[in-house]
Amino acid sequence: MQKILIVGAGASGVYLSVLLKQKLYDCDVIVLEQNTAPLKKVLATGNGRCNLSNKDMSIDYYQSDNNQLVEEIISSFDMVQAMNDLGLYCIYQGNLLYPKSEQALSVKQILMQRAEELGVLFLYEQEVLKIEKGYPYIVKTNQQQLKADYVIFAMGSEAGRLSGTQLSRYQILRKLHLNVVEPRPALTQFFTQPVLKSLKGVRVKGTFTLLEKGKCVHQEKGELLFTDYGVSGIAIMQLSAFCKPLHDYELSIDFFDEEDAKKLYEYIELRRKKGYNHFYDGLLNSKISLYFEKQALNSTQEIVSMLKDFRLHITGLRSYESAQVMKGGLSLNELDHNLELKKYPHIYAIGEILNVIGLCGGYNLHFAFASASHVAKALEREWNVTNS
């Protein structure tokens, strides 16, 4: 009986274990997890509601070093059907797909129930330290040594600390002389200068632009949250995915994105002629109004510029503890079309350990499940040929 070891009990690893036990016969599937429980990151996804996918699965929402392969993987996977096959009923809310229960716990329970019914073995507090070349492979953990005919890397990243913080996940890959794109936080918050502590807790809807040397790098319409270190919010987290190391960026805030500059100018001009005390009251949140009053702007053009193009200097991104994902990881150039390592037959990689990130909106979970499905199909094809 052949043995398959999956390193990591996150979404991609657990889902793959279910698919392999369903599709293959005469095999043992063992999942090694360094935490004390599986699917910790899934439980935190979507503020506990678990945004699984999106109606708009354009490759434009992803960044990787092989977008052609990523596009094929994501477009060939039907999340609604896949979850229905497991027994999880899902619904769209706008473009976002959620479990009907709106509970990430439902996703965990269904995945683990199916895995346990099929006889998948889970071993916890198992940090994989090394994999020795050969056939079968020797997998060494902090607790034991196992032999495996197939190994699948599904160990996620250190983002949010929910997959564990040990950096051995990358060391394993480097020991195998594989190219690892240096991981860095993405989908996270900005440190800014100045830090507008007086606005802490204020939420703003508008259009937000990431600028480098005055030119637009990326733009997002949505919501921003002022904090005691800078800014947060979904729109900001989206923008963070487009930041590169050692680049100097600014954030431009358009508080009045529903009005063009010309119409806003005319409105502000009329408003000034009325001579209101506390001029900004009725235009903005009271805390923002007070902040703007203190700027003592003297012309309509200055006021319009402040409302349409309020600038903050971005001094950095918050660390991996606050990030939803890490940008970087195992280069897709190390893998063939089946996500099998070119240098090591029968070793595959899926999910967040790969150099693939999606924006907020269910894109990263969709790729996690889709990449697991992709590898399950590849192994099924190989299994059928080998055992025919």
Q: Which of 317, 342, 377 is the last residue of a domain?
A: 317
> How far apart, in whole angstroms, are the C-alpha atoms of residue 345 and residue 151?
9
| pLDDT given at position 384 | 77
**9 and 125, same structural domain?**
yes
Domain total in the chain = 2
- For the stretch 104-118, pLDDT in tens is 999 999 999 999 999
**CB within 8 A of 65, min separation 6: which ones?**
181, 331, 332, 333, 355
**194 and 169, same structural domain?**
no
14-39 core/surface letters (b: 16 or more CB in 10 A; e: else): bbbbbbbbeebeebbbbbbbbbeebb
Average pLDDT taken over every residue of the chain: 94
| pLDDT given at position 274 | 87
**362 and 259, same structural domain?**
no
**205 and 171, same structural domain?**
no
Which domain CATH number covers 61? 3.50.50.60
3-state secondary structure 205-271: EEEEEEEECCEEEEEEEEEEEECCCEEECHHHHHHHCCCCCCCCEEEEEECCCCCCHHHHHHHHHHH
**346 and 265, same structural domain?**
no
Angle between the N-to-C axes of helices 104-118 and 11-23, in degrees from 0 to 180, rounded to the nearest 10: 30
**265 and 376, same structural domain?**
no
| pLDDT given at position 220 | 97
| pLDDT given at position 387 | 67
- For the stretch 73-103, pLDDT in tens is 999 999 999 999 999 999 999 999 999 999 9
**171 and 231, same structural domain?**
no
> How far apart, in whole angstroms, are the C-alpha atoms of residue 129 and residue 16?
22
> How far apart, in whole angstroms, are the C-alpha atoms of residue 35 and residue 14?
14
Q: Which of 317, 339, 354 is the last residue of a domain?
A: 317
**154 and 13, same structural domain?**
yes
DSSP label of 281: B
Q: How do beta strands 190-193 and 230-232 pair? A: antiparallel
**133 and 238, same structural domain?**
no
* pLDDT of 166 over the 60 cut: no
DSSP label of 299: S
Residue 243 has, within 13 A of its CA and on its CB side, a CA count of 29
Q: Which range marks the domain in which residue 262 is found?
A: 190-317
Beta bridge partners of residue 30, listed in sequence order: 5, 121
**254 and 365, same structural domain?**
no
**198 and 171, same structural domain?**
no
* pLDDT of 145 over the 70 cut: yes
**212 and 154, same structural domain?**
no
* pLDDT of 162 over the 60 cut: no
| pLDDT given at position 161 | 63
Residue 213 has, within 13 A of its CA and on its CB side, a CA count of 1
Q: Which of 264, 296, 317 is the last residue of a domain?
A: 317
